Structure 1
Amino acid sequence: MKAELHKRSLVLGAALAAGLGVSLPALSQAPPSNTASDVAIDELNEIIVTARRTEERLQDVPISITVYNQEQLANRNVTNAVDLANFTPSLSANSNFGIENTSFAIRGFVQELGTQPSVGTYFADVVAPRGPTQGTQAGDGVGPGSFFDLQNVQILKGPQGTLFGRNTTGGAVLLVPQKPTGDFGGYIEGSYGDYDMYRLQAALNAPFGENARFRLAADHQEREGYLNNISGIGPKDYNDVNYSAVRASLVLDLTPNLENYTIASWSKSDTHGSVEKLIACNPTGYNPPNPQIGLRNFVGILSCGQLQSEQARGTDFHDVQAAVPNPISLIEQWQLINTTSWHVSDTVTLKNIASYAEFTNEQRSPLFGTNWQASTLPAAYQPVFFRGVPAVFTGVFAIPGHNIADQSTYTEELQLQGGSEDGRLRYQAGGYLEWSDPLSTVGNQSPQLAACTDLASLACSDPIGSVFSVALSQQLGFPVPINVAAVNYTAGRTTYRSRGIYAQSSYDLSSQFTLTGGLRYTWDEQTNNAQRITYNFPVLPPFLGAPTQRCTDPSTTANNCSQYLKQESDKPTWLLGLDYKPGDDVLVYGKYARGYRAGGVFTNAPIDHRTFDPEQVDNFEVGLKTSFRSAVRGLFNIAAFYNDFSDQQLQFGFDARVDPVTGATAPVSPTTAVMNAGKSRIYGAEIELSISPLDGLTLDASYTYLKAEIRSIDSVTTVDPNYQVQTSQIESGAPLALSPENKYALSANYTWRLPETVGSITFGATFVHTDEQLTTYGYHDPAIVALYGQDLGTIDSRNLLNLNVNWDGIAGTSVDASVFATNVTDEEYYQYVPGLATSGSEYASLGEPRMYGVRLRYRFGD
């Protein structure tokens, strides 16, 4: 009923032209120039961004921003969030749940599992549709089919809490679509490349009289996966691509002063999903009390058996093993955005924005690349009846008949923008509302060390538990059942509410000095109602019978294994800044900003850690933006920042409690909790340079130095009788995750302008270096490093090179051609390591290998 009401209110808003408008940036005309280099640099100087919710020249905005237009995205072959992060200093990506469910990190601000984003993602000024944060990562980001027919992508660095609200402590990523114009035209584009990649794109722009403009764009891409599955079970590849996306936009000039802008979009991605490669094992287990085989050891033993078999047969870097016969990652999203601008007068504009979106995600994913066989166990522990039966470590599997995400998100924002008659005062104020409700119950039915022929019907066995049970029963002379494997069932519904009011203004103290101040107050609420059940399976002969069922949390037994959690949080955020502009081409700024990320709930945590509070950051930043138009034309931007980060939301691990007297283990699986236990210091600098030393040649460089470290960690305890704190935890002095100390990008483009009857040819190259970076805190425990002989939680540095050649206007026609290659040196690198050392094994998500292809585009109309 609520969803239907949201839809109706949205449609009514469109009909009444009561939406918020984002008008098409009108690029200023570049000064007369006779060289391609001058044109390129002037275009850089005149880039229009919406970083402060209004149109401004990039060089006039006192924010550190990286901007890519659609051509630059195409030259780098950016088709997903990981691609964008790989080529952007200050931006990192967590791909633990696959490239289709990636979260961003900027300047060390990372989204932990179970928390809300630290980097807000926006499309056409609307925040990304929500997804549940319980157990998996889905929604809240840039999904498949987002990087086409865009005006630009803007990466805003540093807290954006005043104008964009909560959950932007690290920054924001803005995707700005092409807006319909008054010219008829469009394009059709086809791409083909290795891994059987093909992509089709098209756009049509059509005016309907003087007061209506329409644009329709579509994108479809398919590509085989670059992870080669050698298990013989399920598909032959993972990390494949198969999406379709459609976007329709309509602009109506209802009156000379009232414009309505509506965007309808739909996308669908249907792939095998992702899997992480098994990269290390330890058969002795983590810090065992004795050298005998124990429960913890079997994960390591089975993993080492798998690795030994792979080494014996010979495998490549991108070979993986996965034991799921029918994996799927199906993501579908549709969204309607209505925006309208009412220019009340020459100095006052009233805007309102309304949106409604639905996000659905079905998954059957092994998550970790295991294909464990009982035949790899020591001979004394090999039950004949389980030889050759694969067991899945764990995975993401939607509960029968449902999805892991099925969420609606409705937003409404009313905004007033204006200024004084003399232009010295500029202001905006507004109110924001967001409702996000589940469309149905969602959840995960995940096997833990279980061998399942039909997970949905719980047709599973416990091969490792059976090994223990049979051996111990024979030794003692009476039956002793020991369950190791389980299927954990979690089903629930999560709702979000967010409300905020804000105001920000800038006042020119003089022709050179401008003072900016802003304040926002935000109220957030998250609720979750979840049922958690654990199923165990017979472990003694004849190994038959129905699974036993118990509440994962014994304290919820009286409530049918269900619990209700609610967390409310509210915080002010603010901005105070001073700009100094001695000339049109120089801007010096300094600012102090407060950022805030909402608290929330995490149902899988121990009983005393199932809710957590908001976190906050105080950001201090100074910067310089300058352009020069002498013999060498270009621009130079630099920003230095310092962040004081407190009440930090960090994830801690908990093991099943072991009775110190009997040695019995509590009947629960290891879990994690989000706690406000950290204080960190983050500082660094960002530099961007673009110059044109020769006619036709443009050189670009960007660099980020980042020092992000945890200053202190609160003591971690729990009163839950079923859990104990893991020995390996986060330590003071550790660097923050996904925070490379140095990252830089170098690019060069040379345009060879030939006669019009031939066209112009551009040669381009982009090189990106990323320092080593931490992805997992636990590896700072010396005991774990000693067990594995290396710090697996820190992934190595990497160097990526992209090349492209574009031939525009071939033979004087409207046909353009491109050749592109990414990761030209075929660098082999880890993208992310989840940190499962205490289990006896470790895994990694792998970066893309070398890829190449060609594009052909036909332009028509004006």
Structure 2
Amino acid sequence: MNHSMRKAALYLSGALCIVSAAPAFAQSADGEAGGSDIIVTARRQEERLQDVPISITVFSQQQISDRNIVTATDLGTYTPSLSVNQRFGPEKSSFALRGFVQENGTSASVGVYFADVVAPRVQAGTTSGNTAPTGSFMDLQNVQVLKGPQGTLFGRNTTGGAVLLVPHKPTDKLEGSIEGSAGNYDMWRLQGVLNIPLADTFKVRLAVDRNKRDGYMKNHSGIGPDSYNDLNYFAGRLSIVADLTPELENYTIATYSHSFSRGYGARLVACDRRFTPGFLVTNPAQISQAIMGSAACAQLDRQSARGDGPLDIEVDNANPYLDIHHWQVINTTTWQATDNIRIKNIVSYQEYRERASFSLNGDNFSVTNPAPRIAPGLPLPPQTAGAKFQYVLINPAPNNDLAAESTFTEELQIQGETPDGRFNWQIGGYLEMARPMGFNAAYSAGLLNCSVPEQLSTCTNPLGLGSMQNSATKFWYDNKGLYGQGTFKLTEQLSLTGGIRYTMDKVRALGQSTRIRLPNTRTCNDTVRFGNLVVQNAEQCAVLFRQESNKPTWLIDLDYKPSDDILLYAKWARGYREGGINITNIGFEVWKPEQVDLYEVGAKTSFRGAVPGYFNVAAFYNDFRNQQIVANGISNVAGFNGSAPIINAGKSRIQGIEADASATLLGALRLDLGYTFLDTKVKSITVPPIPAGAPYSALIPSASVGDPLPLSPKHRVSLTGTYTLPVPESVGQVSLGATYVYTAKQAFTKATLPQYWDLPATNIVNLNVNWDNVMGQPVDVAFFVTNLTNNISQVAVGTSYNSAGFESLLYAPPRMWGFRLKYRFSE
């Protein structure tokens, strides 16, 4: 047994010791079991949380409000094991769970589902889609975070887990609410819910959410907006339940959201001081670094002279924006065919469109005075001191979107059980088709000075190095799956669950990417593949790639329930994540699927009586193979800024322990605890050779052998205490709550300076005061503070140092506070 397996066995043994001790603790109390009656849908049917052999974190709508969870990024702050990659801002973030990360361009490692339908499938030059759109966290029944590979029951195979957003269904009661919020950074929010039973068999529910907040990153360039990282969206949802017969229910949801903000702002934090003003450039490979490094140092010096802090930036984009539209229709038809067989059909269609203009790394550059000197014989004119230029400025192409994709899904489920209740089963089929709605088309201005980047006539080439890349791509995704899963009660206490799925994935991509070298030469991405061809039409650069995979995945689980309040389980699950394509990564356009085997043991216990609550624990070991990671491609072509190709780099192991507990003391103080210990390690890594003609001098992976995996903090603790004051019922219900979250340092990337390889540890404290049913009226008042101690924490690294001679960081929100006023009405 190797060292890793011995450590994993030690973790499992420790968990089993806790498990074996738990029954006595659980059976020592009686009465109501605190959180044991929470209903979840982790196995595509309604079950008690404590009866499901899966490690799950659940948030109610009240907990979502108390923690001020508004976007998917906020959810990652409070969920042990769940991290968020915010490299391109919170609205374009992606989830990482138990060390499984979604790198740019890859399929999601954590599937996000709203009403059992996966999030919109989108791929653009930067992270887009594949997460919960803004406004998704209003009027929910709960949010469930499922940990571990989802390889049988859910629509899309994932290696990390799944996040389920369960909306409130229409009810048979006339009721609703109006809620208003206001806070610092000129935040205001209006929410409304109206539920109308038009008939006993026809019910309608409408929810709306309008949220606006100024940005917290202050811009000092004097160009463009005063701040970045603002929030500005509208979302609406209409739900209809029609009981066509006593056995046939039709449930339709229509959603729409529109987010329009200034996007993210990155802060420069380092530059290459070798390249001082007047530096003599003798090496052609150092031309770009010398000019950008010296300009970045000048910007850093300006920041220091002003006394700027972490939330002060200097970005010269005249009109930055992030404009995202998303709409969706979901129809779920459920037929209780017999007493023991239920048939459910879920069909959906959604569209996602994104337009944006952003400075990739947050710069405000000018050629320094004196300008870098160019040695005779180098293919570059002398530099003009004071000439402005931009590192990379990205805009959509005229009449195009940065990302535009439609997604259609169809899923048929048949669920049943034997008359004696000993065998519970379900079988089904899944189809997902994502289709382009035109080209995902962007203009990336590199080392130019452009007032309107999508209009080449507005650009000048002050360095003689500039180029404009026109990236135009289309993606077609087809995902099909057949699955079956069943649970057989071997005895009244012992059950065996087995599930299998066969998945067929196919990706096709068309690219027409060209690079315009001013003044008048257009080439196909500067590659030897196309020689020195001067291109007149983008169609001459068209390339087509295809990636297919067919894989079985499965689950075997053994459960033991010595009582209703104790569940012990052990399981083995195989998961995989499909391969993909990114045409802009020259020479590394295609990558293969990754695969994981999960071994997990766990226990769930509920206790009753004077101190009701629950205690759940799980220990896990993942054997992770052929993993998809990002590498930093260092350019060997002057004026080409490199890229971030995806490579299948080797093997890793992921192991750890998760605990989740809740208890109510003296009927007034509720304590909720979540803890994750996560130990990840890259066991082997193989960097593929650089193909002939690819414009890279080196590939630098985001991790090395022996390193932890990115976004995998070793420890994370979330502790919430809620105390209900003993006031008369006529006064209302007054509660005081506090949440503390500790996240240990976590790796981000090695493709930068060593001091920025890790994101530092964070300590976040939230407070909330709730006064419900004020003076016996249907009015609720609340005060909330997030990040009470104003912990200014880093959330992402720009990773531009090796290729450009400077580095930038992105930061999480500072202290936010506000008030909420809610009026409820019902018949």
Q: Does 1:183 align with 2:173?
A: yes
How far off is 1:722 after superposition? 3.6
From 801, 804, 818, the equivalent of 1:837 is 801
From 405, 423, 430, the equivalent of 2:428 is 430
Check whether the contact 1:305–1:377 (CA below 8 A) recurs between aligned residues.
Answer: no
Residue in 1 aligned with 2:481?
A: 500
Give, as a single letter, the amino acid of the residue that structure 2 aligns with 1:521: Y
Listed as ranges, the matches of 1:273-288 within 5 Å are: 273-284=263-274
How far off is 1:656 after superposition? 3.2
Give aligned-pair identity as a percent: 44
RMSD over aligned Cα, in angstroms? 2.1
Q: Does 1:696 align with 2:676?
A: no
Give, as a single letter, the amino acid of the residue that structure 2 aligns with 1:580: Y
Structure 1 stretch displaced more, 261-270 or 744-753: 744-753
Structure 1 stretch displaced more, 668-677 or 712-721: 668-677
How far off is 1:689 after superposition? 1.4
| Deviations 1:734-789, CA, capped at 9 Å, x for gaps | 1100000000011100011422321010000000000001111235xxxx54xxxx
From 657, 664, 669, the equivalent of 1:685 is 657
Give, as a single letter, the amino acid of the residue that structure 2 aligns with 1:446: S
Q: Does 1:302 align with 2:266?
A: no
How far off is 1:502 after superposition? 0.2
CA 1:42–1:220 in 2, change beyond 3 Å: closer, same or farther? farther
Aligned residues: 780
Q: Does 1:711 align with 2:683?
A: yes
Q: For 1:596 and 1:379, locate their aligned partners in 2 and report how far apart those are by CA, in whole Å.
A: 50
Q: Does 1:364 align with 2:364?
A: no
From 416, 419, 439, the equivalent of 2:417 is 419
Q: For 1:312 and 1:86, locate their aligned partners in 2 and report how far apart those are by CA, in whole Å.
A: 34
Q: For 1:379 and 1:581, locate their aligned partners in 2 and report how far apart those are by CA, in whole Å.
A: 74
Check whether the contact 1:89–1:704 (CA below 8 A) recurs between aligned residues.
Answer: yes
Residue in 1 aligned with 2:729?
A: 756
What SS does the aligned partner of 2:649 have? strand
How far off is 1:289 after superposition? 11
How far off is 1:721 after superposition? 2.1
How far off is 1:500 after superposition? 0.4
What SS does the aligned partner of 2:756 have? coil
Q: For 2:691 and 2:523, locate their aligned partners in 1 and report how far apart those are by CA, in whole Å.
A: 21
Residue in 1 aligned with 2:555?
A: 575
Give, as a single letter, the amino acid of the residue that structure 2 aligns with 1:705: F
What SS does the aligned partner of 2:303 have? helix
Residue in 1 aligned with 2:133?
A: 143
Residue in 1 aligned with 2:616?
A: 637
Q: For 1:68 and 1:617, locate their aligned partners in 2 and report how far apart those are by CA, in whole Å.
A: 28
Residue in 2 aligned with 1:270?
A: 260
Q: For 1:43 and 1:219, locate their aligned partners in 2 and report how far apart those are by CA, in whole Å.
A: 31
Q: Does 1:625 align with 2:615?
A: no
Q: For 1:377 and 1:534, locate their aligned partners in 2 and report how far apart those are by CA, in whole Å.
A: 30
Residue in 2 aligned with 1:819?
A: 783
Q: For 1:198 and 1:386, locate their aligned partners in 2 and report how far apart those are by CA, in whole Å.
A: 47
How far off is 1:376 after superposition? 5.2
| Deviations 1:21-67, CA, capped at 9 Å, x for gaps | xxxxxxxxxxxxxxxx999x745111100000000000100000000
Q: For 1:94 and 1:521, locate their aligned partners in 2 and report how far apart those are by CA, in whole Å.
A: 30
How far off is 1:278 after superposition? 1.1
Residue in 2 aligned with 1:58?
A: 49
Check whether the contact 1:283–1:299 (CA below 8 A) recurs between aligned residues.
Answer: no
Listed as ranges, the matches of 1:574-653 within 5 Å are: 574-607=554-587, 609-653=588-632
Residue in 2 aligned with 1:563?
A: 543
Check whether the contact 2:144–2:164 (CA below 8 A) recurs between aligned residues.
Answer: yes
How far off is 1:695 after superposition? 2.7
Q: Does 1:96 align with 2:87?
A: yes
Q: For 1:94 and 1:313, locate their aligned partners in 2 and report how far apart those are by CA, in whole Å.
A: 30
Listed as ranges, the matches of 1:31-430 within 5 Å are: 42=33, 44-132=35-123, 134-284=124-274, 294-375=287-368, 378=371, 386-430=384-428
Q: For 2:242 and 2:297, locate their aligned partners in 1 and report how far apart those are by CA, in whole Å.
A: 64
Give, as a single letter, the amino acid of the residue that structure 1 aligns with 2:566: V
Compute the TM-score of the two structures, normalised by the length of structure 2: 0.91
How far off is 1:441 after superposition? 1.4
How far off is 1:379 after superposition? 7.1
Q: For 1:687 and 1:262, locate their aligned partners in 2 and report how far apart those are by CA, in whole Å.
A: 37
| Deviations 1:124-171, CA, capped at 9 Å, x for gaps | 000001112x42111111121111000000000001111114442100
How far off is 1:383 after superposition? 9.9
How far off is 1:242 after superposition? 0.8
Structure 1 stretch displaced more, 644-653 or 806-815: 644-653
Q: For 1:669 and 1:350, locate their aligned partners in 2 and report how far apart those are by CA, in whole Å.
A: 54
| Deviations 1:622-647, CA, capped at 9 Å, x for gaps | 00100111432221000000000001
Check whether the contact 2:515–2:522 (CA below 8 A) recurs between aligned residues.
Answer: yes
Check whether the contact 2:105–2:582 (CA below 8 A) recurs between aligned residues.
Answer: yes
Q: For 2:294 and 2:75, locate their aligned partners in 1 and report how far apart those are by CA, in whole Å.
A: 38
Q: For 1:606 and 1:797, locate their aligned partners in 2 and report how far apart those are by CA, in whole Å.
A: 36
Check whether the contact 2:33–2:609 (CA below 8 A) recurs between aligned residues.
Answer: no
Listed as ranges, the matches of 1:471-510 within 5 Å are: 484-510=465-491
CA 1:749–1:696 in 2, change beyond 3 Å: closer, same or farther? same
CA 1:522–1:727 in 2, change beyond 3 Å: closer, same or farther? closer
How far off is 1:378 after superposition? 4.2
Check whether the contact 1:62–1:623 (CA below 8 A) recurs between aligned residues.
Answer: yes
How far off is 1:508 after superposition? 0.5
Q: For 1:370 and 1:624, locate their aligned partners in 2 and report how far apart those are by CA, in whole Å.
A: 51
Structure 1 unaligned residues grouped into runs of 5+: 1-36, 466-483, 538-545, 658-664, 786-790
Structure 1 stretch displaced more, 380-389 or 802-811: 380-389
CA 1:668–1:374 in 2, change beyond 3 Å: closer, same or farther? closer
Give, as a single letter, the amino acid of the residue that structure 1 aligns with 2:460: S
Residue in 1 aligned with 2:522?
A: 549
- After TM superposition, the runs of 4+ consecutive aligned structure 1 residues lying more than 6 A away are 288-293, 381-385
Q: Does 1:802 align with 2:742?
A: no
What SS does the aligned partner of 2:263 have? coil
Q: For 2:33 and 2:819, locate their aligned partners in 1 and report how far apart those are by CA, in whole Å.
A: 29
Q: For 1:49 and 1:363, locate their aligned partners in 2 and report how far apart those are by CA, in whole Å.
A: 37
Q: For 1:452 and 1:522, locate their aligned partners in 2 and report how far apart those are by CA, in whole Å.
A: 46
Residue in 2 aligned with 1:767?
A: 740
Q: For 1:308 and 1:629, locate their aligned partners in 2 and report how far apart those are by CA, in whole Å.
A: 62
Q: Does 1:460 align with 2:459?
A: yes
Residue in 1 aligned with 2:494?
A: 513
